[in-house]
Amino acid sequence: MAIAPNRLPLSRRLRRPVSVAARRTSPRGQSLVEFCLVLPMLLLIILFGLDFGRVFLGWVELNNVAREAADYAAQNPGAWNTNTPDAAAQAEYRRLVTADASGINCSLPSPIPAPSFPDGSNGAHPIGELVSAQFTCKFQLITPIISNIVGTNGLLSVSASAAFPVTYGTIQGIPVGTAVPTSTPSPSPSVNPSASPSPSPSPSAVPSCIVPTLTGLQTNKAQAPWTAAGFSTSVIFSPLAPPQYNIGSQTTAAGTSELCTSTISVSK
């Protein structure tokens, strides 16, 4: 005996068969497909960010290496004297560069390039001449697509340079004496018991120097008058030179009296 549809239990009347088309359009399956499509692009962006961060930090460290190298060469210009080079000082220069660059994940050229003197002076390098240190290292990228775009087996070249004026040596144009003066023995003091003790000498004042005029000079000519005025520090260039430029302003006015250990900055 057949049972009328309207007499079926409520639970059996609410149940309906799920078609194959309905299963294919399930939201859960659609989300999984979208995730699989987005995942490679997301991983590519993350890897690109890692590569960019590594290269940027390496570039900052490479600039510090260039500044340290240029500063060492400015204090030891005689090491690269074309007539009497100092091999020990050059070896120390290469050691310092290698040690400073050990924390950078890049390959420096071998051998380490020597500093250059853009002014082109031959022989000895006088005070005020600019010395420049420039380095280029290669970073190995880890992102496959980015490394293929860059080419050269995924190696990205990054360069940094710095320049400082020579701070040790002779001033160009000033003759250097070769004769060594002989010292005369000082007479022995005579003892006079009746003489009253002389007052103790007052401490000598801190020496001061007159600031020379640096405006209008080329950057490679600024250190010489500054040192000739008696100052023992180096002229600070802003921006760094090279390239050379005419000095437009100086932080301390010319003609003023300053301590001989004072510093001065010049700019365009």
Asked if the structure places residue 159 within a domain, the reply is yes
| In a shared domain, residues 239 and 115 | no
What is the structure's pLDDT at 236?
82
| In a shared domain, residues 38 and 137 | yes
Burial (CB count within 10 angstroms: exposed 0-12, middle 13-18, buried 19+), residue 25: exposed
The domain total for the chain is 2
Give the domain-ending residue among 114, 140, 165: 165
What CA–CA distance (Å, rounded) separates 162 from 73?
11
Tell me the HSE value of 99 on the side-chain side, using a 13 A CA sphere: 8
- Span 163-167, mean pLDDT? 85
Domain that holds residue 78: 33-165
Beta bridge partners of 160: 135
| In a shared domain, residues 40 and 136 | yes
The mean of the pLDDT values for the chain is 76
**Which range, of 20-34, 47-61, 70-84, 199-213, averages the lowest pLDDT?**
20-34
CATH classification of the domain holding 231 = 3.30.10
CB atoms within 10 A of CB 265: 12
What CA–CA distance (Å, rounded) separates 224 from 208?
18
**Which range, of 140-154, 193-207, 254-268, averages the lowest pLDDT?**
193-207
| % pLDDT > 90, the chain | 6
- Span 196-225, mean pLDDT? 75
What CA–CA distance (Å, rounded) separates 163 from 201?
45
pLDDT range class, residue 92, cuts 50, 70, 90? very high
Give the domain-ending residue among 165, 199, 232: 165
What is the structure's pLDDT at 261?
86
Check if the beta carbon of residue 149 is closer than 8 Å to that of residue 53. Answer: no
Check if the beta carbon of residue 243 is closer than 8 Å to that of residue 214. Answer: no
Six-digit token pair at 2? 């057949």
Q: Has residue 131 got a pLDDT over 80?
A: yes
Check if the beta carbon of residue 182 is closer than 8 Å to that of residue 215. Answer: no
pTM to 2 decimal places: 0.49
- Residues 149-164: pLDDT tens digits? 665 666 778 888 888 8
Burial (CB count within 10 angstroms: exposed 0-12, middle 13-18, buried 19+), residue 126: buried
Q: Has residue 71 got a pLDDT over 60?
A: yes
Phi/psi at 259 (5° precision):
-60, 145
| In a shared domain, residues 57 and 161 | yes
